[in-house]
Amino acid sequence: MGICVGLQGLFEGSEESPDTKGLGIVPGNLKLFDSTEKSVPHIGWNSASTTQVPELTGKSLYGLKPTNKYYYVHSYAAPYESGQLDGWQVATGKYGKETFIGAISKDNIFATQFHPEKSGQAGLDVLQAFLEGKRLQDLDQVTSNTPSTSPSNGLTRRVIACLDVRTNDDGDLVVTKGDQYDVREKSTTSTSAGGGGQIRNLGKPVDLAKRYYEDGADEVTFLNITSFRNCPVADTPMLEVLRQTSKTVFVPLTIGGGIRDVVDTDGTKISALDVATMYFKSGADKVSIGSDAVLVAEEYYANNKQLSGTSAIEQISRAYGNQAVVVSIDPKRIYVTSPNATKHKTIKTVHSGPNGEEYAWYQCTIKGGREGRDVEVTELAQAVEMMGCGEILLNCIDKDGTNSGFDFELIRLVKEAVRIPVIASSGAGNPQHFLEVFKQTTTDAALGAGMVRVFS
């Protein structure tokens, strides 16, 4: 059984590396998805349907169910036309106008382009069927069901649960939540070094991640918002959080915070790639880079858009593929009276500023929003796309923790600027806000963090 690149290797070759031969067990070549009208990589929940194979009518191939959704993350795929692969049983997905192979089988070979180990119960059933040698079962014996929410391009739009994790004043690792990035309770009696009240505590990271998974989150993201400066990198508590979480959570896990070149407590230099490798080995599927991305984008523009080849984004995407690298952007609105009042790209906003300003630009920040830089949000998004980032996690400091809905103007601006998927973040307060952002923008996914405070 092959999974993802394990399926791709069975083919004769791939546009990804034209000089490298595949095993040639399955005839045909893999092609890069067309990104003219859709985001690439293809990330998210899509079908693996056997409905076009007459001999599989009423049957399930290794637990696959045409109505189920499975988790895919890839840029190259095997295009499929009916009748093209004589003797092979094929399950397909559709992305925009392109039909591609989602799973393929013949004799004792089975391969999936999607990740069954990240596809919730539906995926676990596929693995179980393979392990038990249940090649064909009656379809009605396959019970798992994934909800099929309105697909865009065949791809379901993802709902992501985010956990901002840090140590509280007692030294415990907790899930917290900021209001415009301030994670301390508003308090008049100041008890802590930060000047506000206690760090908000929503619960323990591993327990909460499991709860979100069981409640149906399509992905879980951990943002480590404290740097554990006195702790050797290999002992970072987030590594253990990932190890524990991946035992019970079978959807993709992203980890952010501190993904950069670091100097360990004993003075050893550790590259961003090595830091990311530790996280991948502990169960992360993607790493998310924040501050470092802004700083390398500044260098990129200062050097006439020359790529250095050495940035964390480039190192990690070269080794693990673009789909493994997310850039988390923390922009905030700067209001101006007219587009000429700044050199940056502005929007005309329907939410005017404190002094009635009708224009704004989005300034990128670093260090958890504490330091604004002279980089505008689409400049950053385009620079990191060039470097090999596969997805943008688009926060919005003005909206964070307000539970007042997403910033559509920001999301539209960034979606228009890049071809990679965008995750809308900040402001979700209720399920309706997710429906609205999917209706009002073309965002590929939407993320909520503080909502749990409203519903728990």
Binding site for ligand 1PR (CB under 6 A): 162, 164, 177-178, 181, 183, 223, 225, 256-259, 288-292, 328, 330, 368, 395, 400-401, 425-428, 448-451
Considering the candidates 125, 330, 385, 444, report the single residue annotated as catalytic. 330
Q: How far apart are CA 396 and CA 379, in angstroms?
A: 16
Provide, rounded to whole angstroms, the least separation between the CB of residue 211 and ligand 1PR.
16
Radius of gyration of the chain from its Cα atoms, rounded to whole angstroms:
23
Which residues, 6+ apart, have CB-to-CB distance to 380 below 8 Å?
A: 293, 294, 297, 327, 329, 364
Active site residue 433: no
Q: Could you confirm whether 396 is annotated as catalytic?
A: no
Chain centre distance of CA 153: 18
- From the list 125, 164, 298, 391, the catalytic residue is 164
Give 69-121 as a DSSP string: -EEEEESEE-B--TT-STT-EEEEEEETTEEEEEEEEETTEEEESSBGGGSHH
**At its nearest, how many Å lie between ligand 1PR and the CB of residue 204?**
17
Is the Cβ of residue 153 or residue 328 nearer to ligand 1PR in the bound state?
328
Cα 343 to Cα 455: distance, rounded to the nearest angstrom: 42
Residue for token digits 């990198």?
Answer: 233
Q: Is 115 a catalytic residue?
A: yes
Identity of the residue, 125 or 218, whose beta carbon is nearer to ligand 1PR in the bound complex: 218
Closer residue to ligand 1PR (CB): 29 or 430? 430
- Which residue, 92 or 426, has its beta carbon nearer to ligand 1PR? 426
In DSSP terms, 424 is beta-bridged to 394, 446
- DSSP-assigned letter for residue 339: G
- Shortest Cβ 449–ligand 1PR spacing (Å): 3
How far apart CA 38 and CA 231 sit, in angstroms, is: 42
Q: What are phi and psi for residue 240, nearest 5 degrees? A: -70, -40
Residue 341 C-beta: closest distance to ligand 1PR, Å = 27
Q: Is 117 a catalytic residue?
A: yes
Is 330 a known active-site residue? yes
Which token pair is 307?
Answer: 């790529």
Closer to ligand 1PR by Cβ: residue 101 or 162: 162
Q: What is the rounded CA–CA span in Å between residue 362 and residue 432?
A: 25
Catalytic entry in 42, 74, 117, 344: 117
Nearest approach, Cβ of residue 424 and ligand 1PR (Å): 10
Catalytic residues: 4, 115, 117, 164, 330
